Structure 1
Amino acid sequence: MLSVSLRAFFASATLFLTVGSVAAQDSEKKFIVRWFGQSFFQVETPSGKKIVFDPHAIPEFGRLQVPADIVVCSHLHNDHTQLASVENAKSARVFMGLEEGKKGRPPEWNRIDEKVGRIRVRTVPLFHDQEDGMTRGKNSAFVIDAEGMTFCHLGDVAHELTPGQVKAIGPVDVLMVPVGGIFTLNGERAKKVVDQIKPKLYVLPMHYRLPGVDELLSADEFLDEQPNVKRMPTTNELVIPADMKAATYTIVVLNWKKDEAAAPKK
């Protein structure tokens, strides 16, 4: 028979291995954010759920279809609502940030706060211009709490936020913010909005000039003099460990597509 001390030793060793195994599994959990140009993102959670934001079908970015469990559209303009770019749109949960107004009136905010499994989907009412919607109408930010991480997509917001809007958005880990001006925030105003929200991990600029889409301003004004910029010119993917912590956020400039690996030489 094993002595009490030996049994205690084996029990401790088993517990250590179990805890170590769980810790290793936790450290391997990750989110993957993919950008497809303009305001079109896909977030893949550690459990494999996929959330798509503002899908478009802009030819210059290539016509593609991506899978989704949840689709959110910040407003009703056609470069943000192309469900044909979601390969399983009919089976996905689709949330529209605005709903068509009645009797010819402009679209109104669709106030959403719902759970889809372990994912919470919320909207925060914003505007598409600096005149309380008088020029380009309303817009909704989507705040997604997914498996321990919070993502905020600001849609086509064009104004700095009120204290009430900042409070409604709440703490954010990853912020997707338009920076191309003309129809949305320009670079300088986008910097102020980022300072208002204070995301913990990442800022992802979107909705700015790229080859073939030249009606917007470039991202340069937003990126100018920023100390914490990481450019990723060969990939549209950002991998985020589920347990990541950071002293301050990093601005990540993604490519809008993932470069294909060169074919091996024969």
Structure 2
Amino acid sequence: MLRALSALLSLLMMGAAAFAQQAPRSSECLAMAGGPRAVPVSLRRAAADTGEVTITYAGHSTYFIDTPGGVRIATDYSGAYQVGRLPDVVTMNRAHSTHYTLAPDPRIPHVLHGWGEDGKKAEIFERIGDVLIRNVTTDIRRYYGDTSGLDMIKDGNSIFIFEVAGLCIGHLGHLHVKLDETHFAAIGRLDIVMVPIDGTYTMSLDGISEITRRLRASVVLPMHRFATPLDDFMRRIGQEFEIDRRSERTLKISRESLPATRTVIILDGV
């Protein structure tokens, strides 16, 4: 009996060690940042075996991301926008109450704040199920309408990056400032990016369009839109982007199905 238990324990330990070796210990999106945008077909097929990611627009800046492993994420979560079951992970930013809540449903196991406490910035690098979640902080204005840049909250906003199924998915949050080389280096490669296009509360359309072009993601998902004409945003980001208007709120996508031409996908409700 002792021999059998010992052998079983040894097998379990070996399995755990093998799993630890297979699980990426660092950001794949940062590792790929300096590589070519074209991915060899063999790698695309291998990545496609990990399954599709489902992205659903819930409202305002909240997208629900469902991973192949069954993890459900909600971005800039305030609780006001709900689609189906509760998320397993919520990310938040505190520029306005529509982007966070200090009283989330207690059944949500992972609540990730995009701001720090006691003068420290938020530093997130967590693997939850089949997704790696990390953040890059940016400063935010303390008051709406203040364009002087003199009264800022340092590291008050987080750009969240979700690495899953071979995809690098970024959510810019409530972005107030231009990104510098340090930000772009920390973000790394993005395949899909969610960008605020209100043109007022966050950044000007010219500013967010410049950032969108620089990030060079295959798919752009607009959000945080009020009265902004979509044509204004499209005109500013340039003719190198296709536009794909959808009649549904949900997008299923994998590494293999990324469009060959950079595309703005406008889901229903945006």
TM-score of the superposition, structure 1-length normalised? 0.71
Alignment equivalent of 1:110, drawn from 83, 97, 122: 122
Structure-2 change in CA distance of 1:125 and 1:254 (3 Å): same
Structure-2 change in CA distance of 1:218 and 1:136 (3 Å): farther
Tell me, what secondary structure is at the counterpart of 1:98? coil
The whole-number CA distance in structure 2 between the counterparts of 1:24 and 1:122 is 24
The whole-number CA distance in structure 1 between the counterparts of 2:53 and 2:91 is 18
Query: How big is the shift at 1:125?
Result: 1.1
Question: Are the counterparts in 1 of residues 124 and 135 from structure 2 also a CA contact under 8 Å?
Answer: yes
Tell me, what secondary structure is at the counterpart of 2:168? strand
The aligned residue for residue 121 of structure 1 is 133
The aligned residue for residue 212 of structure 2 is 194
Alignment equivalent of 1:241, drawn from 250, 254, 263: 254
The aligned residue for residue 223 of structure 2 is 206
Query: How big is the shift at 1:198?
Result: 1.0
Please tell me whether residue 164 in structure 1 is matched to residue 179 in structure 2.
no
Deviations 1:6-51 (A, max 9, x none): xxxxxxxxxxxxxxxxx89956921110011210010111222211
The aligned residue for residue 64 of structure 2 is 42
Task: Give the partner amino acid of 2:262.
Answer: Y
Query: How big is the shift at 1:108?
Result: 5.1
The aligned residue for residue 264 of structure 1 is none
Query: How big is the shift at 1:247?
Result: 2.9
Tell me, what secondary structure is at the counterpart of 1:115? strand
Question: Are the counterparts in 1 of residues 76 and 99 from structure 2 also a CA contact under 8 Å?
Answer: yes
1:18-97, aligned counterparts within 5 Å?
26=48, 29-57=51-79, 66-75=85-94, 77-82=96-101, 89-97=106-114
Q: Which runs of 5+ in 2 are unaligned?
A: 1-44, 142-146
Please tell me whether residue 146 in structure 1 is matched to residue 146 in structure 2.
no
Deviations 1:205-264 (A, max 9, x none): 11111xxxx6xx4433212364411111x211111134224433210111128xxxxxxx
Q: CA RMSD in A?
A: 3.0
What percent identity do the matched residue pairs reach?
Answer: 25
The whole-number CA distance in structure 1 between the counterparts of 2:120 and 2:148 is 16
Q: Which runs of 5+ in 1 are unaligned?
A: 1-22, 258-266
The whole-number CA distance in structure 2 between the counterparts of 1:190 and 1:178 is 8
Structure-2 change in CA distance of 1:72 and 1:25 (3 Å): closer
The whole-number CA distance in structure 1 between the counterparts of 2:210 and 2:71 is 32
The whole-number CA distance in structure 2 between the counterparts of 1:52 and 1:133 is 32
Structure-2 change in CA distance of 1:119 and 1:131 (3 Å): farther
The whole-number CA distance in structure 2 between the counterparts of 1:133 and 1:236 is 39
The aligned residue for residue 228 of structure 1 is 242
Query: How big is the shift at 1:65?
Result: 6.3
The aligned residue for residue 260 of structure 1 is none
The whole-number CA distance in structure 2 between the counterparts of 1:155 and 1:34 is 16
Q: How many residues align?
A: 217
Tell me, what secondary structure is at the counterpart of 1:238? strand
